Amino acid sequence: MFHSDPSREKLRATMLAQIAKGGEIAIISFIANLLVGVFELGFGTYYGSLALSADGIHSFVDAIVSLMVWLGIRYSQRRADGKFHYGYYKFDAIFSLFAAMIMVASGVVISYIGITQYLARTDQHSISVYASVIAGISILIAVVLAIGKNLYAKKTGLVSLKTDAYNSIKDATASIVALLGIVATWFGFYGLDPLAGLVIGAFVMVAGYFSIHSSSLILADAYSNPQMIETIKRIATSVPGIEGIDDLRIRRNGPFLTVEMHIRVDGNITVFEADKISKEVTERMRERILSLGRVTVKPEPVQTSPPHPARQ
C-alpha cells in the first residue's frame, strides 16, 4: 500500500501558489508597461525622438505580451475535463507562442520606421532632459520586472513567464539604446536617434524568434535534459526486481513532467508482484522529483529459465 507523502503534497501546493504569484507578476507587468508606453510614446512624439517613440511602442507590445502570459497562466491552472484529458497546461506555451509572434511583427514595423527616418536625415529634434528621464525610468522598471519574472519562471517552469522575463531583459536593453540615442541628439548626432529605433526593432525581432523557437519545441513535445533523464533511470533501476528500463519518454506539460517507461522484470513473477514494482518506481520518482506529473510505468517480462517443476 502506497500513501501520498504529506510533505511532498505541501511542496506541490507551494508550486501551484508560485504559479499563481507568477500570474500576479504578469498582470503587474502589463499595467507597468502600459503606463510606460503612454509616457514614452507621448514624449517621443512631442520631442520628435524616434528612439523614445519606438521604445514606447515596444512597451505597448510588452504589455500585450504580459497580458498573453497572464492568460496562459490562468488557462493552465484549469483542471482536466472531458475535453482536455491531460489538462490545460499546454495553453501556457500556446499563449507564449502568440506573444512571441506579436513581438516579431512589432519588431519589423519599428525597424522599418527606423530605416525610413534614418534615410530621411531630419534635424528637427527638440532636446529635453525629460525624454532621458522617461527612458531611465523605463530601464529601472524593466530590470525589476525581469528579476521578478525570472525568479518565478525558475521556480515554476512556466515557459510563458520565462519568455516574458526575456522580454523584460530585452526591454531594458532597448531602453538603454533609446537613452543613448536621445543623449546623442544633445551633441548634434541626430542620425543616431532613428538608428537607435532601428536597433530596438532588431532586438524585438530576435527576442521574438527565440521565444517562438522555445514555445514550438514544447508544443512539439521536445525535451532535452540529459541530467533529468539519467536521474529517472537511476531511480528506476534502484528498485529491486527491475533488470532494466526501455522506451523512456519525457515531455513537459506546463510546470510538470510527463514520464512514460517500460521496465524489464522477471517473467516468472505474478501480475501483482509486477504491479507492486511499478508502483514503487513511481513512488520513488515522486519522492525525488517535485515537478513530476503523470507517470506511466509498463512492466515487460524477461525470459528466464522456468522454475523447477514439483517432484511427483
Class level of CATH domain 6-219? mainly alpha
Strands (E), the chain: 242-253, 256-266, 292-302
Taking every pair of C-alpha atoms in the chain, what is the biggest distance, in angstroms?
109
- pLDDT tens sequence across 240-252: 988 888 889 998 8
Which contiguous run of DSSP H or E holds residue 43?
Answer: helix 6-47
pLDDT(12) > 70? no
pTM assigned to the model: 0.65
Taking 50 as the threshold, does the pLDDT of residue 2 lie above it? Answer: no
Confidence of residue 280 (pLDDT cuts 50, 70, 90): very high
Q: Which residues does 286 contact at the CB level (< 8 Å), separation at least 6?
A: 5, 8, 292, 295
Residue 42 has pLDDT above 80, yes or no: yes
Q: Which of 30-44, 66-80, 119-133, 292-306 has the lowest mean pLDDT?
A: 119-133
Mean pLDDT to the nearest integer, 93-119: 80
Q: Which three cell numbers stand for residue 144?
A: 525589476
Q: Is 213 helix (H, G, I), strand (E, B) or coil?
A: helix
Grid cell 489538462 in the structure block, residue: 87
Is 3.90.230.10 the CATH number for 226-302? no
Give 109's pLDDT tier (boundaries 50, 70, 90): confident
Domain locations along the chain: 6-219, 226-302
DSSP code for 221:
T
pLDDT tens, position by position, 127-185: 567 777 888 888 888 888 888 877 777 766 666 677 677 777 777 877 787 788 778 77
By C-alpha distance, which of 60, 41, 57, 52 is closest to 184? 52
